[in-house]
Structure 1
Amino acid sequence: MKTVESEIKYLKLLSKQYPSISKASTEIINLEAILNLPKGTEHFISDIHGEYESFVHVLKNGSGVIKRKIEEVFSSTMRDNEKKALATLIYYPEQKLDLIIKEEENIDDFYRINIYRLIELCKYASSKYTRSKVRKLLPNDFKYIIEELLHENIDGEHKKNYYKSIVETIIQIDRAKEFIIAISKVIQKLVVDRLHIIGDIYDRGPRPDIVMDTLMDYHCVDIQWGNHDILWMGAASGSKACIANALRISARYANLDIIEDIYGINLLPLATFAMEVYKDDPCNCFIPKISDQDVSTKEKSLIAKMHKAISVIQFKLEGEIINRRPEFDMKHRLLLNNINYEDKTINLKGKDYKLKDSNFPTIDKNNPYKFTKEEEIVMDKIVSCFKNSEKLQKHVSFLFSKGSIYLTANSNLLIHGCIPLNKDYDFMSMKLQGSEYRGKALMDKMESLSREGYFFEEKSIQKQYGMDMMWYLWNGKCSSLFGKDDMTTFERYFIGEKETHKENKNPYFKQREDEDMCEKIFKEFNLDSKDAHIINGHVPVESKNGESPIKANGKILAIDGGFSRAYQEKTGIAGYTLIYNSYSLQLVSHDPFTCAEEAIVNESDILSTTEIVEHKAKRKTVRDTDAGKKLEEEVKDLKLLLMAYKKGIIKEI
């Protein structure tokens, strides 16, 4: 138990910040008041996979929260079409105003009406926060004005003209457009207190960089790394195996623009090499998966050749890691050793399979993992580009600063993939650097090693091990981000029999349906099972086949519903998101989003359906959150300081 005497050193330091009874008392009153405010709204999104337009729209509308706020404030005073128009204005203020200015005959009236509506909505959205917190979210240009308007009573007799004068002056001096843009963005920030991204920002979709830029500009965000994210993090660190995988996936989905145009990585060495080595090879097994991109036959052929070239390089690079790290237990993935290059077959688990493609001009059958001189030159050039890409390094640095393998937040365990389990309902173990790890400790160790892979000195032992660990997290059986026993990349390219393509999910994905297993996981992560949930992404929920994202009687929420278009045929929807406010936990399912332009012009929104997972009879307050627990500790310390002042143990300044 803390006493004044036992904490005297700390209290003397604290007294420098609160040098008198008056100042310490004021802060206690302030913190106690904050503890009784309603809990802020949390927003959970997973598996974005570069689908930036859908992501940005869901972020702007707060998964329907803004529409609900509009309905609550204006239910009886606005028509439905007016509510839709106001919602669109808040989501896309710049673009919508450009259209309105061209079409509206009396733009001043439009400004006047909507400024009053936006102020009213902003006032309502800000009512659960302290003035100081709201002030931090206000733009510098209009900080004073918005603050004045939010805390004035429009119908109050004393300041009615003052309030009116502010609005009229904004219009008269031609600042209405800028004001509406500013206050719309404030409303977007106020409806969501904290954003959680449950992994997989990268790969498949066209513009993960826009997603990253959006997150870097967001007011409060954390990220739980997905296996596709850790792959790019490893690539930015300089891991050749991670780089090869990232390039292969980008080629597979005809998405090399993100590599070249966005991240400025020169792929000419790879293209030149591929054209020389595979000039007479149609590379039919490596034709990219193209949805609606306008790609010429010639370009498609070049991508296929690059795709094959980097795939073969990848298998060689992975072989190096597998041989270097016996603790990864992946010797069975050294498949180049199993190829009969004369018979054009491969032996897997005692059975021979015919290869769909047997042209391997860069593989020495007596030493299949040996690199050709040309392959080494290509990879050295590409590695240099990855490590020197300013934009990529900026994005990956943000993933490290705001991200982690897992997060416990307000009684919820956020993890992209799984908690690695054995079939016997125990935590899977792995030996790393001479010590055995399992459960939470294993995930903590893997995260620590990954950080060393990015931040430690070039050519150090720690950096190399950390980079190898990031590759393992991408596809290893004990990886909580991957959650399968194998990644059958080679088999899917080269073998027709689908039996060889199977990737068995970790037992977690069956055992998570068991509430007792959930209890065991909650205990491992020091969570109170009464209020706790596990929130996952990674494995798409097949809604169209009747699969529910709510599992283990509400203890598990699997929110990968298919943001990525590549999965929407499988899921039947275009994503799940989760909203956790002071009253309830709400699961929101989304229909496919067409495009921002249609949303702006036609004032259309994503059609979303909300399901209440849990409803609290008693509203949760800040006191019930992790931040609240920290504030309560601060209050206890301040009360000790107050006692020290009153006893004269510490003198007021």
Structure 2
Amino acid sequence: MSEKLNLQLLKFLGRQYPTADAAITEVINLQAILNLPKATEHFISDIHGEYEAFSHVLRNASGVLKPKIDELFMSELSEKERRSLAMLIYYPEKKLEQVIKKEQDMHDWYRLNLFRIIKLCKVISSKYTRSKVRKALPKEFAYIMEELLNEQIDTFNKDKYYNEIIERIVDLNKGKEFLCAFCYLTQRLAVDRLHVIGDIFDRGPRADWVMDAMQNYHSIDIQWGNHDILWMGAAAGNGACIANVIRNACKYANLETLEDGYGINLLPLASFALEYYKETDYSGFLPHMEGMDTVQKDSSKMIALMHKAITIIQFKLEHRLIERCFDPSMKERDLLHKINYGNNTIEIEGKNYQLKNIDFPTINPREPYVLTAEEEQVVERLITSFVQSSKLQEHVRFIFSKGSMYKIYNDNLMYHGCILLEEDGSFKKVELEGKTYWGRGYLDKLEEIVREGYFNEQDNELRRKGQDMMWYLWCGKNSPLFGKDKMSTFERYFIQEDQECAVENKNAYYRYLNEIDLANRILEEFGIRASEAHIINGHVPVQVKHGETPIKAGGKIIVIDGGFTKAYQKVTGIAGYTLIYNSWGLQLASHEPFEGIEKAISSEKDIVTSINIIEYVYKRKRVADTDIGKDIMAQIEALLLLTEHYRLGLLKEKEI
């Protein structure tokens, strides 16, 4: 950096710290912050629209809060009372509704529980500066809450003062408001940052509610999953992405997110399906209805007709993208022209397979990829509905602003799918726009193209390529978010699933997951050389019931997709993994299925969580050991340089 530019930057810094004393004061403050314990990070993956389970895991910080309650109140509260206190902290308003109905002396109840929750909140907030805690306080109660958090009730001179504040809060009928405020502050301070390792959408009932919760979260980053990128492409107006989104929603009888959450008008599709597919064989398109109520099951036929209609539309729309795709292997996924209507067979990869049925009323065998006029109209209206959904656009812009293909944070590398490998374990090289990419460079290039697809309003060609890439990242052979050689959608619907052609082979990455050498090579590729670095991965559910472990490569790679979504829990045997990284190391939490918020509150039954310590450090990590610490040290260096310039008279101090 040139001396002239350096001086300009110091002058700019001097506006905030106009005197040497002001700069030195901030240096002292920053040096002190460096010695605070490292804040807690929370990692979650593959939420798939399961709002209630996701919300609960956020509220109980993956089981972190309950042990703190046990530790603090073991000698004074029974196990039942501690469970009740925990549920109060997780769901204060709902729990209060129950308490008010049965508690005779609410004055005493509020006073007692305020003392307990403030005691817990003091412990949780102790690793933060007063300034940071102050910023987390609700404005209307900030002064009183700060007083209560920072006063010592066993101090002779202040005990009456402290008790009087609590009494006045309750006497003035503000017990409920303050209690809720302290509960939410406790939740807020239990975790400093949330990392979402992809796949927010599809399968579960309310991905839109999950997104609302994420928007309101205090500190978050998102690594895009293949299901997320599909919705991003749909929001951008890509017809093939929209068709896939709707097909997935029909498959799991999950139209609430589309219709109620985002206001997507599915009536044109329903009317079209009823007219053209009513008399066809739709048995292979009946939705997965496990756990659905009677009303939803009664609508299964209509959903199945829509499901079949949008699937055929999808195959036709994807043909257009395949024709111009950078990856020539995608041409193998064009299958409609390979159907032999004479003997009900199809040729795939040189072999003939019997089809379950060829009941396709809107396919012209001579021009199988041409949309009918009615299909064109349906597609146009769906695109308009997606593009004009203000809520969907708001959520997708948030995913872009907080998200990326990967993230490096505190020496942990996070990505959803995989780093593409060749069969011999070397990084796979991909030709794209006349250049060869692999590893980190490939992910960077893909992200650049994707962002053009949503944000570029000037260059229609770059925008189209970006939207095509979003679809490719959903299902393409060289998609690091997908990580398989093909998405055998056609085969699974129209050919027996046990046939060879329906098998989706995973990238070689998944065979090498237990190799420490692979982990080190990937970390080095991303510029991470710390001995305690990790790769945190989602996407492929860990099949615990078959003995698989989420801890790979000697603890260097951690796969935290354990089946958050109910659709996977029969396969995995659990209801998801989450990861906690605090000042003492890494803890993996495995969760049992969540029975619902109302059941949790009424029975005071938390998600059963097993904590497995992956890595324990004997020297507690401090802020100085984190990425934030590096930034603070750079600030200290700049401030010390500023004070030196003040001392030497190279910069004039200003009067305050």
TM-score range, shorter chain: over 0.9
How many angstroms apart in 1 are the aligned matches of 2:229 and 2:99? 44
What are the superposed Cα offsets for residues 509-547 of structure 1, whole Å, 9 maximum, x if unpaired? 111211111111011111124111111111110101110
How many angstroms apart in 2 are the aligned matches of 1:184 and 1:105? 22
Structure 1, 506-515 or 378-387: larger mean CA deviation: 506-515
How many angstroms apart in 2 are the aligned matches of 1:422 and 1:511? 11
Confirm or deny: 8 A CA contact 1:4 1:641 kept in the other structure.
no
Query: Are residues 1:339 and 2:339 paired?
Result: yes
The number of equivalent residue pairs is 652
How many angstroms apart in 2 are the aligned matches of 1:341 and 1:20? 85
Query: How do 1:540-555 residues align onto structure 2 when only pairs under 5 Å count?
Result: 540-555=541-556
Aligned residue in 1 for 2:262: 263
How many angstroms apart in 1 are the aligned matches of 2:445 and 2:329? 17
Confirm or deny: 8 A CA contact 1:200 1:538 kept in the other structure.
yes
What are the superposed Cα offsets for residues 367-417 of structure 1, whole Å, 9 maximum, x if unpaired? 211111111110000000000111111111111111111111111111111
How many angstroms apart in 2 are the aligned matches of 1:288 and 1:82? 43
Aligned-pair CA distance for 1:431 = 2.0
Confirm or deny: 8 A CA contact 2:326 2:432 kept in the other structure.
no
What are the superposed Cα offsets for residues 414-458 of structure 1, whole Å, 9 maximum, x if unpaired? 111111111122212222222221110110111111111111117
How many angstroms apart in 1 are the aligned matches of 2:530 and 2:106? 55
Q: Secondary structure at the match of 2:299?
A: helix
Q: Secondary structure at the match of 1:7?
A: helix
Aligned-pair CA distance for 1:297 = 6.3
Aligned residue in 2 for 1:42: 41
Confirm or deny: 8 A CA contact 1:453 1:466 kept in the other structure.
yes
Structure 1, 525-534 or 130-139: larger mean CA deviation: 525-534
Aligned-pair CA distance for 1:64 = 1.0
Aligned-pair CA distance for 1:16 = 1.6
Confirm or deny: 8 A CA contact 1:559 1:576 kept in the other structure.
yes
Confirm or deny: 8 A CA contact 1:519 1:529 kept in the other structure.
no
Structure 1, 266-275 or 493-502: larger mean CA deviation: 493-502
Confirm or deny: 8 A CA contact 1:63 1:577 kept in the other structure.
yes
Aligned residue in 2 for 1:563: 564
How many angstroms apart in 2 are the aligned matches of 1:256 and 1:219? 29
Confirm or deny: 8 A CA contact 1:3 1:640 kept in the other structure.
no
What are the superposed Cα offsets for residues 106-125 of structure 1, whole Å, 9 maximum, x if unpaired? 11111111001111111111
Aligned-pair Cα RMSD in Å: 1.4
Aligned residue in 1 for 2:352: 352
Structure 1, unpaired ranges of 5+? none
Aligned-pair CA distance for 1:296 = 6.0
Q: Does the C-alpha gap of structure 1 residues 600 and 640 become closer, same or farther in structure 2, counting only changes over 3 Å?
A: same
Aligned residue in 2 for 1:591: 592
Aligned residue in 1 for 2:423: 423
Query: Are residues 1:402 and 2:418 paired?
Result: no
Query: Are residues 1:578 and 2:562 paired?
Result: no
Query: Are residues 1:627 and 2:636 paired?
Result: no
Query: How do 1:346-385 residues align onto structure 2 when only pairs under 5 Å count?
Result: 346-385=346-385
The one-letter code sitting in structure 2 at the alignment partner of 1:493 is Y
Confirm or deny: 8 A CA contact 1:51 1:563 kept in the other structure.
yes
Q: Does the C-alpha gap of structure 1 residues 453 and 221 become closer, same or farther in structure 2, counting only changes over 3 Å?
A: same
The one-letter code sitting in structure 1 at the alignment partner of 2:646 is Y
What are the superposed Cα offsets for residues 142-165 of structure 1, whole Å, 9 maximum, x if unpaired? 111110011111111212221111
The one-letter code sitting in structure 2 at the alignment partner of 1:243 is I
Query: How do 1:153-192 residues align onto structure 2 when only pairs under 5 Å count?
Result: 153-192=152-191
Aligned residue in 1 for 2:230: 231
How many angstroms apart in 2 are the aligned matches of 1:485 and 1:409? 30
How many angstroms apart in 1 are the aligned matches of 2:332 and 2:448? 27
Structure 2, unpaired ranges of 5+? none
Aligned residue in 1 for 2:518: 517
How many angstroms apart in 1 are the aligned matches of 2:357 and 2:222? 40
Query: How do 1:148-547 residues align onto structure 2 when only pairs under 5 Å count?
Result: 148-293=147-292, 294-295=294-295, 299-327=299-327, 329-457=329-457, 460-498=460-498, 499-547=500-548
How many angstroms apart in 2 are the aligned matches of 1:295 and 1:576? 32
How many angstroms apart in 1 are the aligned matches of 2:65 and 2:217? 17
Aligned residue in 2 for 1:640: 641
Aligned residue in 1 for 2:124: 125
Aligned-pair CA distance for 1:494 = 0.5
Q: Secondary structure at the match of 2:518?
A: helix
Q: Secondary structure at the match of 2:64?
A: helix
Q: Percent identity?
A: 54
Q: Does the C-alpha gap of structure 1 residues 210 and 513 become closer, same or farther in structure 2, counting only changes over 3 Å?
A: same
Confirm or deny: 8 A CA contact 1:282 1:305 kept in the other structure.
no
Aligned-pair CA distance for 1:279 = 2.1
Q: TM-score when scaled to structure 2?
A: 0.97
Q: TM-score when scaled to structure 1?
A: 0.98
Confirm or deny: 8 A CA contact 2:282 2:308 kept in the other structure.
yes
Aligned-pair CA distance for 1:98 = 0.9
Aligned residue in 2 for 1:15: 14
Aligned-pair CA distance for 1:299 = 2.1
The one-letter code sitting in structure 1 at the alignment partner of 2:402 is K
Confirm or deny: 8 A CA contact 2:206 2:256 kept in the other structure.
no
How many angstroms apart in 1 are the aligned matches of 2:559 and 2:218? 25
Confirm or deny: 8 A CA contact 1:228 1:474 kept in the other structure.
yes
Aligned-pair CA distance for 1:15 = 1.4
Query: Are residues 1:89 and 2:85 paired?
Result: no
Confirm or deny: 8 A CA contact 1:90 1:188 kept in the other structure.
yes
How many angstroms apart in 2 are the aligned matches of 1:330 and 1:69? 53
Q: Secondary structure at the match of 1:174?
A: coil
Q: Does the C-alpha gap of structure 1 residues 529 and 507 become closer, same or farther in structure 2, counting only changes over 3 Å?
A: farther
Query: Are residues 1:610 and 2:611 paired?
Result: yes
How many angstroms apart in 1 are the aligned matches of 2:497 and 2:541? 24
How many angstroms apart in 2 are the aligned matches of 1:560 and 1:326? 30
The one-letter code sitting in structure 2 at the alignment partner of 1:406 is Y
Q: Does the C-alpha gap of structure 1 residues 328 and 15 become closer, same or farther in structure 2, counting only changes over 3 Å?
A: farther
Q: Does the C-alpha gap of structure 1 residues 528 and 381 become closer, same or farther in structure 2, counting only changes over 3 Å?
A: same
Q: Secondary structure at the match of 1:279?
A: coil
How many angstroms apart in 1 are the aligned matches of 2:327 and 2:573? 40
What are the superposed Cα offsets for residues 28-83 of structure 1, whole Å, 9 maximum, x if unpaired? 11111111110000011111111111111111000111112212322323222221
Q: Does the C-alpha gap of structure 1 residues 437 and 30 become closer, same or farther in structure 2, counting only changes over 3 Å?
A: same
The one-letter code sitting in structure 2 at the alignment partner of 1:111 is Y
What are the superposed Cα offsets for residues 457-496 of structure 1, whole Å, 9 maximum, x if unpaired? 1771111011001001101122111111100000000001
How many angstroms apart in 1 are the aligned matches of 2:271 and 2:257? 19
Confirm or deny: 8 A CA contact 2:48 2:565 kept in the other structure.
yes
How many angstroms apart in 2 are the aligned matches of 1:94 and 1:459? 50
The one-letter code sitting in structure 1 at the alignment partner of 2:355 is L
Structure 1, 369-378 or 294-303: larger mean CA deviation: 294-303
How many angstroms apart in 2 are the aligned matches of 1:188 and 1:117? 15
How many angstroms apart in 2 are the aligned matches of 1:475 and 1:54? 27
Aligned-pair CA distance for 1:615 = 0.2
